């Protein structure tokens, strides 16, 4: 009896309240998205809102089951759960059913389950368990490799199912690792690469290179180099450039200005390095390394873009960056989605009065593009409210994570918050044209049993752990 | 607790920053940027499909065979309906009130929000009147479509017709929407994808009174329709029409091919029908009538779907096979005593001089001669057994394109059949005898061949040993090259030198003087080579067949004419072939053959007894 009382007392009811509210709002919007005069009963299970109601019921049941289980169970069974999940991900590749080109569904008696959704939960458990072990040291090579294997295995299996969107979610665990001590440079380098990737696609490579060089010299100034030293460095670069240019022109070679600059920079690297070594300029080496790294990255971006990405992925990125705007092709979904959200105005058109979403201009409206219905029918107020609720939930989870005594619970909590954040950011970003079209669901909102159950499990396991926050789990 | 505890602020900061950026973006999209907004009046959009013009179809001389004319469909969106003056509406459209009520119910059943067709193909007069008053009837609008128009009212089987897509077709091809048309037969079907083009869409703002308020976002999301590609066919429409005229009141078919390309010049299936009967609102009624009530089956394409025994024209193939296998020479003679007699078996023949050599046997179509030839092949010692001999014979025969699909660019081609060795083994016994299959010697028995295959055979003979797959489309679009398949020579297994004696015989059939069975196909100044056939028909009158090509050197046309119940090959098929060849090569019929043309035109084999014999006996 005492255990139950303490469970109810220790549960974070605020989180549960926000969860229930989000699920309810999600259902209302699914109802609006597929609303049709001829099927008005909310319990009509031939319609998606009817089915979603069943999924919600099942999700609540799942949540209760999880709360009854002892908290210790989850840390003890973290690895077995993970292994079972990996097994399922392999099995779905072999026995799965293909839907929209992705082989990622199991079909059991008419109910379709997507193991990739549940893999996030299992991976989150396993990585928490691993990082919370005593012998884990974040900057030890072996620890990083094992953590990498835990994260990459499900991601690679999901990519093999041709569901690149769901695999991308695992990137977000970098934030969890960062919280546990991963060097901030990793975040910085990741951020820098992303910026360079976009800039290189948008601008000619020559300008990008000039920008990198200019930026590096400015940095060098801040690193405490004297003005004279910078002038010498610049002059060396100009002389090198002049020489190479002269040789190229004299031999009448067909070499672009960009390549001439690349060659002269490469030639200059050696004397620069020697100078740095001689003067013991430790800070400067970082600037130089990053500059060279950036150079290499811009050099390889177009190769990566054209040879590694698939054509539909290229189109989506081009469209996002406005390089090739094709509102009837790859950009159609986003264009329609923006019109739908934009037409909502300040307060929206009102429940069931959306026209854009009704006429099926927006595809995948009850799943990936559910936020359009929110934007159109509830306007700026409604969409801001939904975003704020989601943010509130995520921040609340960060707060709960920080109050855990055991590292396992804390890391798991961060994992949950980061996964929810990533889904929200990509999904909403996609509907308003700020992220490429990656088909991942909006937590608690999008139609679909698998995703709702997976998010529910993810969240309630943490709530269960949080109820035992004063215990030290291993 | 942890050294890195402060990092929670950075992570939380990232989360809050992203959401803030999103909210700013939403503010911009939903409040500042007017382009996405709908004014209170413009409360809905209408997507109007832009139908592409279907490709036009031309004949080989650039004459237009099929073009498009505008038609207007009255569309209905039930959700936008409001109370309106139904009497006025019904009067405008000339419909009963009951039809209106049923039409609305049907549209509601289909979809509340999506447009469906309320009334198909309004006349342009009715459309003009309706257009002015349309604003009184919210929920209704007019969609422009095109209908096919046939200036020559000819070549219906080859051109084919369009029909509204079925629900199944909509499901299997996402291009189609309810009310779209699809090619159901002829080249309209084979070249459906090329002809149809690509649909476009125009999006309009519409106010509550159903009035168009302008283009949606200046047409930014509109898509232009792309017209279908034009087809340039190989048909010679003058020849085609002349063929249809000659075949009036007769059952059967004509196929004419240009031998050195395989292009189909004319393809007549009689009785035919006027292609315009399958256009517009009358289509369903006419279709029902033709399918159910017409015993002559005008929709049945006799050139490609009717399977006939070829009759004596098949003797040409038997002669070629025997020459190739070296079991006879052109000088080989066989006797004929009014037929072929072995023991109790007798195959009749008409009376003629005896014995004959190969050339004269072709000229006079001697049954006994070819019965001997056929046995010489099957019983040749070099094969060891009749069965192996037959298999070798069959291999030669199928190399002429018999017994399988030729691969014509028209749908529903029948394969026909040449019986196999196994067939006879099942029917008779393992060691069956040549006499069991002797009717193949004169093109009777189990042979099933379409007139198209017969035409292909005569084209191969005209080319002295090869053929191109017959085809009816020369080019798709203005620069569209032909599929590779139609540019490849298909060689028969008979060497070209063996064709000469057979072609000599064929020329004698037409211009060999006494005993020539196809004299009525002769044309002044043109060396016509032909062969008659009379196909025995147990229940009714025999069929009349003629194959021919001309001129003998460098042939321009190869033709087969098959007239059901025409009795002798010489009576109808030969004269019709001659007239067709003359029409194609000279452009008109010479004065001294007008009597023959008139006789063919007047002949009515469907309603009356056969015309009197032309006086030449096969």
pLDDT of B285 reads 82
pLDDT digits (tens, 9 = 90+) for B491-502: 999 999 999 999
Instruction: State whether B401 and B332 are in the same domain.
Output: yes
Residue B618 lies in a domain: no
pLDDT at B41 > cutoff 50:
no
pLDDT at B1 > cutoff 90:
no
- Residue predicted with more confidence, A359 or B531: B531
- What does DSSP assign to residue B468? P
pLDDT of B44 reads 61
| Chain A residues lying within 8 Å of B22, measured CB to CB | 387, 425, 428-429, 432, 434
Residue B423 lies in a domain: yes
Contact B221 A328 (CB under 8 A): yes
Contact B8 A181 (CB under 8 A): no
Instruction: State whether A37 and A13 are in the same domain.
Output: yes
pLDDT of B577 reads 92
Contact A383 B30 (CB under 8 A): yes
- Distance from C-alpha of B247 to C-alpha of B267, rounded to nearest angstrom: 11
Look at residues B206, B233, B260 and tell me which one is the last residue of a structural domain: B233
* Out of A179, A327, A358, closest to residue B8 by CB: A179
Instruction: State whether B188 and B331 are in the same domain.
Output: no
pLDDT-derived band at B164 (thresholds 50, 70, 90) equals confident
Q: Which chain B residues have any C-beta within 8 angstroms of a chain A C-beta?
A: 2-5, 7-8, 10-12, 14-16, 18-19, 21-23, 25-27, 29-31, 33, 35-38, 43-45, 47, 79, 112-113, 217, 220-221, 223
Chain A residue whose CA is closest to B7: A179
Read out DSSP for B56-120? Answer: PEE-TTS-EEEEEEEEEEEEE-GGG-----HHHHHHHHT--HHHHHHHHHHHHHH-SSS-EEEEE
Instruction: State whether B361 and B323 are in the same domain.
Output: yes
Minimum distance, in Å, between the CA of residue A436 and any CA atom of chain B = 14
Chain B residue whose CA is closest to A378: B30
Residue A442 makes CB contacts below 8 A (sequence gap 6+) with A26, A368, A370, A371, A423, A424, A427, A428
pLDDT digits (tens, 9 = 90+) for B454-509: 999 999 999 999 999 999 999 888 777 777 888 899 999 999 999 999 999 999 88
Residue B66 lies in a domain: yes
Instruction: State whether B314 and B456 are in the same domain.
Output: yes
- Distance from C-alpha of B444 to C-alpha of B448, rounded to nearest angstrom: 9
pLDDT of B390 reads 92
Task: Pick from A33, A37, A336, A342 the residue to mutate for testing the B interface (most B CBs within 10 Å).
Answer: A342
pLDDT digits (tens, 9 = 90+) for B379-409: 888 888 999 999 999 999 999 999 888 999 9
Contact B31 A346 (CB under 8 A): yes
pLDDT at B40 > cutoff 50:
no
Instruction: State whether A172 and A197 are in the same domain.
Output: no
Q: Is B540 helix (H, G, I), strand (E, B) or coil?
A: coil
**Counting Cβ atoms within 10 Å, is residue A229 exposed (0-12), middle (13-18) or buried (19+)?**
middle
Residue B292 lies in a domain: no
Instruction: State whether B558 and B463 are in the same domain.
Output: yes
Look at chain B and report how many structural domains it folds into: 3
Instruction: State whether B518 and B452 are in the same domain.
Output: yes
Instruction: State whether B29 and B89 are in the same domain.
Output: no
Contact A328 B16 (CB under 8 A): no
Residue A472 lies in a domain: no
Question: To the nearest whole number, what is the mean pLDDT of chain B?
Answer: 85
- Distance from C-alpha of A161 to C-alpha of A155, rounded to nearest angstrom: 10
Minimum distance, in Å, between the CA of residue B141 and any CA atom of chain A = 17
Q: Between A227-250 and A257-279, two packed helices, what is the crossing angle to 10 degrees?
A: 140
Residue B285 lies in a domain: no
Look at residues A251, A275, A308 and tell me which one is the last residue of a structural domain: A308
Q: Lowest mean pLDDT of B169-183, B271-285, B604-618, name the range.
A: B604-618
Residue A473 lies in a domain: no
Residue B254 lies in a domain: yes
Residue A474 lies in a domain: no
Instruction: State whether B385 and B494 are in the same domain.
Output: yes
Chain A residue whose CA is closest to B223: A328
Q: Which residues pair with B149 in a beta bridge?
A: B67
* Out of B16, B31, B113, closest to residue A380 by CB: B31
Residue B215 lies in a domain: yes
Instruction: State whether B306 and B226 are in the same domain.
Output: no
Instruction: State whether B167 and B22 are in the same domain.
Output: no
Look at residues B212, B233, B254 and tell me which one is the last residue of a structural domain: B233
Instruction: State whether A209 and A289 are in the same domain.
Output: yes
- Distance from C-alpha of A383 to C-alpha of A372, rounded to nearest angstrom: 9
| Chain A residues lying within 8 Å of B27, measured CB to CB | 380
- Residue predicted with more confidence, B224 or B581: B581
Instruction: State whether A340 and A455 are in the same domain.
Output: yes
Task: Pick from B8, B19, B219 the residue to mutate for testing the A interface (most A CBs within 10 Å).
Answer: B19
pLDDT at B608 > cutoff 80:
no
- Distance from C-alpha of A138 to C-alpha of B511, rounded to nearest angstrom: 103
Task: Pick from A334, A343, A348, A411 the residue to mutate for testing the B interface (most B CBs within 10 Å).
Answer: A343
Residue B283 lies in a domain: no
Contact A343 B7 (CB under 8 A): no
The residue-averaged pLDDT of B552-578 equals: 88
Minimum distance, in Å, between the CA of residue A136 and any CA atom of chain B = 15
Minimum distance, in Å, between the CA of residue A172 and any CA atom of chain B = 11
Q: Which domain holds residue A18?
A: 2-182+317-467
Contact B31 A432 (CB under 8 A): no
pLDDT digits (tens, 9 = 90+) for B70-98: 888 888 888 778 888 888 888 888 888 88
| Chain B residues lying within 8 Å of A344, measured CB to CB | 30
Contact A38 B112 (CB under 8 A): yes
pLDDT of B450 reads 93
* Out of A338, A358, A390, closest to residue B29 by CB: A338
pLDDT at B114 > cutoff 80:
no
Look at chain A and report how many structural domains it folds into: 2
Query: The domain that contains B542 carries what CATH number?
Result: 3.40.710.10
Contact A181 B4 (CB under 8 A): yes
H or E segment and range at residue B202: strand B200-206
Instruction: State whether A248 and A345 are in the same domain.
Output: no
The residue-averaged pLDDT of B53-69 equals: 90
Instruction: State whether B25 and B50 are in the same domain.
Output: no
The residue-averaged pLDDT of B528-539 equals: 85
Q: Which domain holds residue B179?
A: 45-233
Contact B37 A338 (CB under 8 A): no
Residue A383 lies in a domain: yes
Instruction: State whether A323 and A431 are in the same domain.
Output: yes
pLDDT of B470 reads 94
One pLDDT digit (tens) per residue for chain A, 474 residues: 445 557 888 899 999 999 999 999 999 988 888 776 555 666 666 778 888 889 999 999 999 999 999 888 999 999 999 999 999 999 988 887 777 667 778 877 667 788 889 999 999 999 999 999 888 888 788 888 999 999 999 999 998 888 888 888 999 999 999 888 888 878 888 887 777 777 777 777 777 778 877 877 777 777 667 777 778 888 888 888 888 888 888 887 777 777 888 888 888 878 877 877 777 776 677 777 777 777 777 777 767 777 777 777 777 776 666 555 545 455 667 777 887 888 888 888 888 777 665 545 566 677 888 898 899 889 999 999 999 999 999 999 999 999 998 999 999 999 999 999 999 999 999 888 888 888 889 999 998 888 999 999 999 999 999 998 877 765
Minimum distance, in Å, between the CA of residue B481 and any CA atom of chain A = 29
* Out of B15, B33, B43, closest to residue A342 by CB: B33
* Out of A179, A429, A432, closest to residue B7 by CB: A179
pLDDT of A37 reads 59
Number of A/B CB contacts below 8 angstroms equals 105
| Chain A residues lying within 8 Å of B113, measured CB to CB | 358-359
Residue A190 makes CB contacts below 8 A (sequence gap 6+) with A174
Instruction: State whether B413 and B472 are in the same domain.
Output: yes
Instruction: State whether A417 and A367 are in the same domain.
Output: yes
Minimum distance, in Å, between the CA of residue B75 and any CA atom of chain A = 16
Look at residues A287, A308, A329 and tell me which one is the last residue of a structural domain: A308
Residue A261 lies in a domain: yes
* Out of A180, A345, A425, closest to residue B4 by CB: A180
Instruction: State whether A23 and A144 are in the same domain.
Output: yes
Instruction: State whether A273 and A331 are in the same domain.
Output: no
pLDDT digits (tens, 9 = 90+) for B172-187: 887 887 778 899 889 9
Task: Pick from B26, B105, B204, B220 the residue to mutate for testing the A interface (most A CBs within 10 Å).
Answer: B26
- Distance from C-alpha of A184 to C-alpha of A175, rounded to nearest angstrom: 10
Q: What is the dihedral of CA A281, A287, A289, A291, to 10 degrees?
A: -140
B617 neighbors B532 (Cβ within 8 angstroms): no
pLDDT of B253 reads 92
Phi (first) and psi of residue B162, to 5 degrees: -105, 150
* Out of B5, B11, B37, closest to residue A343 by CB: B37
pLDDT of B612 reads 44
Residue A461 lies in a domain: yes
Instruction: State whether A18 and A51 are in the same domain.
Output: yes
Minimum distance, in Å, between the CA of residue B164 and any CA atom of chain A = 24
Contact B36 A429 (CB under 8 A): no
Contact A180 B5 (CB under 8 A): no
Percent of the residues in chain B that have a pLDDT greater than 90, as a whole number: 31
Look at residues A308, A330, A347 and tell me which one is the last residue of a structural domain: A308
pLDDT of B471 reads 94
Instruction: State whether A69 and A202 are in the same domain.
Output: no
Chain B residue whose CA is closest to A331: B221
Residues A198, A200, A204, A207, CA torsion sign: positive
pLDDT of B399 reads 93
pLDDT of B613 reads 42
Instruction: State whether A302 and A345 are in the same domain.
Output: no
The residue-averaged pLDDT of B31-41 equals: 61
């Amino acid at each position: 009896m005492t255990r139950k009382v303490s469970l109810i007392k220790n549960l974070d009811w605020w989180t549960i309240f926000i969860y229930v509210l989000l699920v309810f709002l999600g259902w209302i919007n699914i109802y609006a998205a597929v609303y049709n005069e001829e099927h008005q009963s909310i319990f009509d299970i031939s319609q998606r809102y009817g089915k979603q109601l069943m999924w919600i019921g099942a999700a609540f049941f799942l949540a209760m089951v999880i709360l009854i289980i002892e908290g210790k169970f989850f840390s003890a069974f973290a690895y077995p759960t993970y292994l079972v999940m990996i097994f399922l991900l392999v099995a779905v590749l072999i026995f799965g059913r293909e839907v929209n080109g992705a082989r990622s569904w199991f079909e059991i008696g008419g109910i379709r389950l997507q193991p990739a959704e549940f893999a996030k939960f299992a991976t989150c458990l396993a990585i928490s368990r691993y990082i919370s072990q005593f012998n884990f040291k974040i900057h030890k090579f072996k620890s990083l490799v094992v953590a990498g294997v835990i994260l990459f295995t499900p991601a690679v299996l999901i990519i093999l199912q041709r569901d690149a969107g769901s695999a991308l979610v695992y990137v977000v665990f970098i934030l969890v690792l960062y919280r546990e001590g991963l060097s901030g440079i990793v975040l910085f380098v990741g951020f820098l690469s992303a910026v360079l990737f976009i800039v290189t696609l948008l601008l000619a490579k020559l300008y990008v290179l000039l920008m990198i060089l200019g930026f590096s010299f400015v940095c060098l100034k801040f690193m405490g180099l004297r003005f004279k030293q910078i002038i010498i460095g610049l002059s060396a670069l100009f002389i090198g450039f002049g020489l190479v240019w002269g040789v190229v022109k004299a031999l009448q070679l067909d070499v672009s200005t960009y390549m001439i600059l690349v060659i002269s920079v490469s030639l200059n690297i050696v004397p620069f390095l020697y100078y740095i070594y001689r003067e013991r300029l430790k800070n400067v080496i970082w600037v130089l390394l990053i500059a060279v790294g950036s150079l290499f990255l811009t050099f390889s971006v177009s190769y990566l873009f054209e040879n590694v990405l698939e054509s539909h992925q290229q189109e989506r990125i081009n469209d996002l960056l406005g390089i090739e705007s094709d509102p009837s092709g790859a950009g159609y979904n986003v264009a329609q989605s923006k019109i739908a959200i934009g037409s909502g105005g300040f307060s929206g058109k009102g429940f069931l009065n959306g026209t854009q979403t009704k006429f099926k201009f927006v595809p995948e409206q009850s799943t990936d593009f559910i936020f359009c219905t929110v934007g159109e029918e509830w306007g700026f107020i409604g969409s801001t409210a939904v975003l704020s609720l989601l943010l509130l939930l995520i921040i609340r989870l960060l707060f709960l994570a920080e109050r855990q005594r055991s590292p396992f619970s804390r890391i798991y909590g961060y994992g949950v918050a980061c996964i929810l954040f990533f889904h929200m950011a990509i999904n909403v970003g996609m509907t308003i044209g700020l992220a490429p079209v990656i088909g991942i669901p909006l937590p608690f909102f999008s139609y679909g049993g698998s995703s709702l159950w997976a998010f529910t499990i993810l969240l309630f396991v943490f709530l269960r752990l949080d109820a035992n926050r004063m215990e030290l789990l291993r | 607790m942890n050294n890195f505890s402060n990092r929670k602020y950075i992570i939380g900061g990232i989360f809050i920053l992203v959401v803030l950026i999103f909210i700013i973006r939403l503010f911009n999209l939903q409040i500042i940027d007017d382009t996405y907004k709908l004014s209170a009046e413009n409360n809905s959009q209408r997507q109007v499909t832009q139908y592409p013009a279907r490709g036009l179809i031309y004949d080989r001389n650039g004459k237009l065979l099929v073009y498009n004319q505008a038609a207007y469909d009255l569309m209905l969106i039930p959700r936008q309906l409001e109370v309106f003056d139904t009497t006025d509406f019904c009067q405008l459209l000339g419909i009963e009130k009951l039809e209106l009520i049923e039409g609305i119910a049907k549209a509601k059943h289909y979809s509340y929000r999506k447009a469906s067709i309320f009334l198909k193909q309004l006349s342009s007069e009715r459309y003009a009147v309706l257009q002015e008053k349309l604003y009184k009837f919210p929920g209704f609008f007019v969609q422009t479509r095109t209908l096919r128009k046939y200036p020559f009212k000819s070549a219906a089987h080859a051109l084919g017709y369009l029909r509204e897509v079925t629900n199944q077709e909509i499901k299997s091809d996402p291009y189609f929407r309810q009310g779209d048309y699809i090619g159901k037969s002829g080249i309209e079907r084979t070249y459906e994808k090329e002809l149809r083009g690509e649909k476009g869409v125009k999006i309009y703002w519409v106010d509550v009174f159903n009035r168009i308020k302008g283009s949606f976002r200046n047409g930014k999301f509109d898509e232009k329709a792309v017209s279908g590609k034009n087809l340039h066919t190989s048909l010679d429409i003058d020849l085609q029409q002349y063929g249809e005229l000659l075949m009036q009141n007769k059952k059967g078919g004509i196929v004419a091919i240009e031998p050195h390309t395989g292009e189909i010049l004319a393809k007549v299936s009689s009785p035919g029908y006027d292609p315009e009967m399958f256009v517009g609102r009358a289509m369903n009624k006419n279709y029902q009538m033709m399918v159910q009530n017409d015993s002559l089956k005008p929709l049945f394409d006799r050139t490609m779907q009717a399977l006939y025994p070829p009759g004596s024209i098949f003797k040409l193939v038997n002669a070629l096979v025997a020459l190739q296998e070296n079991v006879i020479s052109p000088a080989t003679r066989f006797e004929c005593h009014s037929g072929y007699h072995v023991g109790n078996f007798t195959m009749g023949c008409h009376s003629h001089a005896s014995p004959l050599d190969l050339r004269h046997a072709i000229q006079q179509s001697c049954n006994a001669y070819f019965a001997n030839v056929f046995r010489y092949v099957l019983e040749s010692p070099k094969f060891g057994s009749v069965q192996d001999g037959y298999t070798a014979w069959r291999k030669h025969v199928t190399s002429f394109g018999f017994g399988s699909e030729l691969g014509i660019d028209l749908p529903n081609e029948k394969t026909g059949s040449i019986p196999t060795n196994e067939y006879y083994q099942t029917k008779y016994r393992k060691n069956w005898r040549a006499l069991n299959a002797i009717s193949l010697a004169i093109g009777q028995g189990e042979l099933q061949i379409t007139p198209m295959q017969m035409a292909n055979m005569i084209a191969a003979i005209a080319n002295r040993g090869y053929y191109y797959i017959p085809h009816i489309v020369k080019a798709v679009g203005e620069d569209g090259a032909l599929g590779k398949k139609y540019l490849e020579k298909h060689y028969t297994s008979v060497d070209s030198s063996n064709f000469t004696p057979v072609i000599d015989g064929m020329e004698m059939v037409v211009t060999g003087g006494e005993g020539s069975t196809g004299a009525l196909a002769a044309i002044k100044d043109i060396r016509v080579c032909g062969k008659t056939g009379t196909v025995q028909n147990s229940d009714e009158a025999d069929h009349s067949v003629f194959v021919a090509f001309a001129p003998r050197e460098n042939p321009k046309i190869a033709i087969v004419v098959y007239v059901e119940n025409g009795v002798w090959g010489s009576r109808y098929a030969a004269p019709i072939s001659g007239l067709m060849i003359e029409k194609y090569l000279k452009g008109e019929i010479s004065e001294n053959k007008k009597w023959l043309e008139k006789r063919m035109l007047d002949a009515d084999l469907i309603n009356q007894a056969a015309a009197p014999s032309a006086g030449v006996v096969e």
